[in-house]
C-alpha cells in the first residue's frame, strides 16, 4: 500500500474523481453502520463494521452508538470487500493507447488507478504479455517497464495493491527466456502458461486480425511469425515444464490459460499448475475441477452472455458449479456487475458471488488478510448502491481511507 502519499494522490486524481475527501493524518478509526454487509459466508442486514489503524476489528449485526468517526448513513447500500481482480489486461493500453503513442507512467498510473477504484477494484493483478514481436506494448521490454513502474508505487502515487502476472507465450522464444529466468519479485504473483497459435480456420482469422490491429504486423510478417510459432509447438511441453519448474522454485503461482482439451489440463496439472484460466469448453472445466484446479472466468463473458471468441459461456460453467474466481479480464466495470448479475439471475447467493472476486481470488493469487470483511483483515471496502438492477460504487476505502467517493450523486450523505 502507498498510504503515505495519499494526500498528493488526491490532488492528482481531482480531475477525474468526482469527490475526494480530505484526509487528516490524525484520523485512524472509523465505524461504518447501517449497510447490508456481505461477509465471506453470510449477509448481515443493518450491520456495523469497526475499523482501527486500517484493519477491521469488529463486525456485528446490530448497530451500536460509539464515539468514533462514523459513516452513519449507509442504509440502503451494500458493504463489500474491495474487489480483487486476478487477471486484468488493460494497463498496457492505458500506458500506450495507440501503437507508437506512449505516455509517462507518473502521468497515467494515478488516473488509471482511479478508474479501477471507481469500479470497486482495490487489488489488481496486471497480466502482462511478453511477446517477441515489434509492438512495444506487448513486448518483454514493455513488461519490464511496467513492473519497474509498479514497484515504485509510492513514487507513482498509487493507493491500491498492484501485482503482476507474467504471461508466458510458450511458442515465443523471448517470452520463454524471460519467464524461465524471472527472479523473485515482490509484486509478481503468477506465471501464466499460454499459447495463442491458431488451432482452426476461425482461430486463424481471429489471429490474423489481432496481429494487424493490435501488433501492427503486415501479412508477410504475420506469416513469418506464425511459422515460427508452429515450429516451436514441437517443444511446447518441454518449454512448459521448464518454465513451470522455475516459477514454482521462485514461489510463484502457475496458471494455464485458454486450455483447449481435457488432456492438456491433465498435462498442465502434472507440471504443478493449480489454476485454469478461461477454460474453452465444459469438458476442460470439468477435468480441471476433478484434478483439484481452481477455475477462473472473465466477467465480460458473464455480463454480455458469451465469449467474444466463441468459447464456452461462463453461465454454463456457473450452472455446473465449475467456477471459483471471476476476473475483469479486459473490462473492469464488468467485475462488480457480474457479481450482482450472478446473484440476480442464478441460484448463487450474494455472499458466494462476492467471494468469487474477493476471498476466492485472494486465495488463488496468494494474498492474505484481504478479500473478506472479518477481524484482522485490511479494511479495503466498497459502499455499493443498486440503481434499478445495476450496482454502482458510492465509495471505495483503501485501508480505512476513503480514496474514491461519489455518494453525493445518489442524494445520500456519508458523514
* CA 194 to chain centroid: 18
Stretch 261-284: mean pLDDT: 97
User: Which of 125-139, 192-206, 298-312 ranks highest by mean pLDDT?
Assistant: 298-312
Q: Please determine, for residue 8, whether its predicted confidence score (pLDDT) is greater than 50.
A: no
Stretch 152-169: mean pLDDT: 87
pLDDT averaged over the chain? 87
pLDDT at 120: 98
- Asked whether the CA dihedral 339, 340, 345, 347 is positive or negative, the reply is positive
pLDDT at 13: 29
Kindly state the DSSP code that residue 25 receives in the 8-state scheme.
Answer: T
pLDDT at 226: 84
Pairing of strands 325-327, 294-298: parallel
pLDDT, one tens digit per residue, over 67-84 is 555 555 688 999 999 999
pLDDT at 63: 67
pLDDT at 27: 61
Write the CB contacts of 129 (distance below 8 Å, at least 6 apart in sequence). 92, 138, 139, 142, 143, 167, 169, 175
pLDDT exceeding 90 applies to what percent of the chain?
65
Q: What is the enclosing helix (H) or strand (E) of 190?
A: strand 188-194
pLDDT at 70: 54
pLDDT at 11: 27
H-state helical runs in 96-216: 105-118, 140-151, 173-180, 201-213
CA distance 281 to 262: 9
**Predicted model pTM:** 0.89
Instruction: Give the closest residue to 170 by CA, choosing from 62, 39, 267, 75.
Output: 267
pLDDT at 151: 87
CA distance 315 to 347: 11
Instruction: Give the closest residue to 27 by CA, choosing from 71, 86, 68.
Output: 68
Q: Please determine, for residue 282, whether its predicted confidence score (pLDDT) is greater than 90.
A: yes
CA distance 97 to 79: 34
pLDDT at 299: 98
pLDDT, one tens digit per residue, over 180-209 is 999 999 999 999 999 988 877 777 888 888
Count the neighbouring beta carbons within 10 Å of the beta carbon of residue 98.
9
pLDDT at 145: 86
Stretch 48-63: mean pLDDT: 91
CA distance 386 to 384: 7
**Cross-strand pairs, 125:** 163
Instruction: Give the closest residue to 87 by CA, choosing from 368, 344, 294.
Output: 294
Stretch 10-19: mean pLDDT: 31
- DSSP letters, 96-127, are -SBTTB---HHHHHHHHHHHHHHTTEEEEEEE
CA distance 81 to 372: 6
Q: Please determine, for residue 12, whether its predicted confidence score (pLDDT) is greater than 80.
A: no
**Cross-strand pairs, 402:** 397
* CA 111 to chain centroid: 17
Q: State phi, psi for 167 to the nearest 5 degrees.
A: -90, 110
Count the neighbouring beta carbons within 10 Å of the beta carbon of residue 55.
15
H-state helical runs in 152-257: 173-180, 201-213, 219-232, 236-249
Q: Please determine, for residue 131, whether its predicted confidence score (pLDDT) is greater than 90.
A: no
**What confidence category does residue 95 fall into, taking pLDDT thresholds of 50, 70 and 90?**
confident
pLDDT exceeding 70 applies to what percent of the chain?
87
Instruction: Match 469500479 to its residue by C-alpha cell.
Output: 119
Instruction: Give the closest residue to 199 by CA, choosing from 133, 280, 262, 306.
Output: 280
Write the CB contacts of 123 (distance below 8 Å, at least 6 apart in sequence). 82, 83, 84, 85, 160, 161, 163, 362, 367, 370, 371, 380
**What confidence category does residue 6 fall into, taking pLDDT thresholds of 50, 70 and 90?**
very low
Q: What is the enclosing helix (H) or strand (E) of 56?
A: strand 55-60
For 383, the grid coordinates are: 459502499
Local structure of 172: helix, strand or coil: coil
Q: Please determine, for residue 312, whether its predicted confidence score (pLDDT) is greater than 90.
A: yes
CA distance 133 to 175: 10
Domains of the chain are 3-81+372-410 (2.30.40.10), 83-365 (3.20.20.140)
CA distance 108 to 55: 29
Stretch 90-111: mean pLDDT: 85
Stretch 5-25: mean pLDDT: 33
Instruction: Match 466463441 to its residue by C-alpha cell.
Output: 310
**What confidence category does residue 142 fall into, taking pLDDT thresholds of 50, 70 and 90?**
confident
Amino acid at each position: 500500500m502507498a498510504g503515505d502519499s495519499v494526500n498528493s494522490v488526491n490532488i492528482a486524481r481531482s480531475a477525474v474523481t468526482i469527490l475526494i475527501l480530505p484526509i487528516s493524518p490524525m484520523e485512524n478509526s472509523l465505524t461504518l453502520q447501517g449497510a447490508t454487509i456481505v461477509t465471506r459466508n453470510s449477509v448481515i442486514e443493518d450491520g456495523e463494521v469497526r475499523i482501527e489503524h486500517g484493519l477491521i476489528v469488529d463486525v456485528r449485526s446490530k448497530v451500536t452508538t460509539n464515539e468514533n468517526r462514523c459513516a452513519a448513513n449507509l442504509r440502503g447500500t451494500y458493504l463489500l470487500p474491495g474487489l480483487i481482480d486476478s487477471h486484468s489486461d488493460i494497463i498496457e493500453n492505458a500506458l500506450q493507447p495507440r501503437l507508437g503513442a506512449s505516455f509517462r507512467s507518473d502521468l497515467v498510473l494515478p488516473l488509471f488507478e482511479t478508474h479501477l477504484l471507481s469500479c470497486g477494484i482495490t487489488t489488481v493483478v496486471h497480466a502482462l504479455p511478453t511477446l517477441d514481436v515489434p509492438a512495444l506494448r506487448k513486448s518483454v521490454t514493455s513488461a519490464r517497464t511496467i513492473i519497474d513502474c509498479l514497484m515504485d508505487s509510492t513514487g507513482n502515487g498509487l493507493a491500491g495493491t498492484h501485482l503482476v502476472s507474467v504471461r508466458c507465450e510458450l511458442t515465443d522464444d523471448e517470452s520463454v527466456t524471460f519467464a524461465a529466468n524471472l527472479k523473485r519479485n515482490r509484486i509478481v504473483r503468477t506465471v501464466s502458461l499460454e499459447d495463442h497459435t491458431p488451432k482452426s480456420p476461425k482461430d486463424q482469422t481471429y489471429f490474423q486480425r489481432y496481429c494487424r490491429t493490435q501488433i501492427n504486423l503486415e501479412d508477410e510478417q504475420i506469416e513469418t511469425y506464425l511459422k515460427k510459432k508452429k515450429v516451436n509447438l514441437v517443444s511446447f511441453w518441454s518449454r512448459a515444464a521448464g518454465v513451470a519448474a522455475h516459477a514454482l522454485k521462485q514461489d510463484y503461482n502457475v496458471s494455464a490459460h485458454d486450455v483447449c482439451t481435457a488432456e492438456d489440463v491433465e498435462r498442465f496439472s502434472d507440471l504443478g499448475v493449480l489454476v485454469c484460466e478461461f477454460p474453452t469448453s465444459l469438458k476442460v472445466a470439468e477435468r480441471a475441477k476433478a484434478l483439484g484446479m481452481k477455475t477462473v472466468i472473465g466477467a465480460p463473458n458473464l455480463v454480455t452472455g458469451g465469449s467474444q471468441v466463441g468459447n464456452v459461456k461462463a453461465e454454463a460453467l456457473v450452472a455446473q458449479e465449475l467456477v471459483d474466481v471471476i476476473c475483469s479480464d479486459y473490462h473492469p466495470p464488468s467485475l462488480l456487475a457480474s457479481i450482482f448479475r450472478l446473484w440476480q439471475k442464478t441460484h448463487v447467493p450474494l455472499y458466494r458471488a462476492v467471494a468469487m472476486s474477493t476471498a476466492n481470488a485472494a486465495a488463488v493469487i496468494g494474498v492474505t488478510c484481504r478479500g473478506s470483511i472479518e477481524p484482522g483483515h485490511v479494511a479495503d471496502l466498497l459502499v455499493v448502491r443498486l440503481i434499478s438492477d445495476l450496482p454502482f460504487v458510492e465509495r471505495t476505502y483503501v485501508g480505512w481511507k476513503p480514496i474514491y467517493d461519489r455518494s453525493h450523486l445518489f442524494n445520500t450523505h456519508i458523514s
